[in-house]
Amino acid sequence: MLSSHPVTAPLRAQRAHLREVLAVLSERVGALPSLTEDAARREMLALVSGLDGILRPHLAWEERTLHPVVDKYACEGPAAFSASMRYEHEIIHRWSAELARLAGDDPRAFARQADRLLGVVLAHFELEEHVLFPILDRTLGGDACRAQVGDPPR
């Protein structure tokens, strides 16, 4: 049974913060149709920059720290436990690039792609919280978790 204070509590708190930031960005995406063409173009570029500034460091941190630690305790080797999560990172990067390509054009197409991207990011977080984090909660103490995983980017 997991402790009432899981060692991944700081990681979970960081995910909660990211969800709040992504919710604000999602609201901004939803407001695009109400903007003038020039304002929508500027807002799309700002949204791409904001998402990239949040997602790129977060995903890099996961690949550098979180996934190797989970793999160590779950299953290392050519079929690493985190392989599906790493593949989702590729999808997120690819869809982010597509969103950047759409910025400045049709706000509706941009909004559809932004919604797709945000959906996969939130699903990715949920998988980590319900599959990867419990592995760390069961196998590591708080000090060991912090020593191996460190603090996620803010």
Cα distance between the two ends of the chain: 30
Residue ranges of the alpha helices (H) in 2-154? 9-30, 37-61, 67-74, 83-102, 107-127, 133-139, 142-149
- Is residue 96 pLDDT above 60, yes or no? yes
* Closest of 117, 89, 87, 82 to residue 101, by C-alpha: 117
Give the domain ranges of the chain.
9-148
What pLDDT, on a 0 to 100 scale, did the predictor assign at position 17?
95
Q: Rounded distance, CA 30 to CA 46, Å? A: 14
More confident residue, 142 or 74: 74
Mean pLDDT of the chain: 88
The per-residue pLDDT for range 39-51, each reduced to its tens digit, is 999 999 999 999 9
Long-range contacts of 116-123 (CB under 8 A, 24+ apart): 117/51, 117/92, 118/22, 118/25, 118/26, 118/29, 120/88, 120/91, 120/92, 120/95, 121/22, 121/55, 121/92, 122/19, 122/22
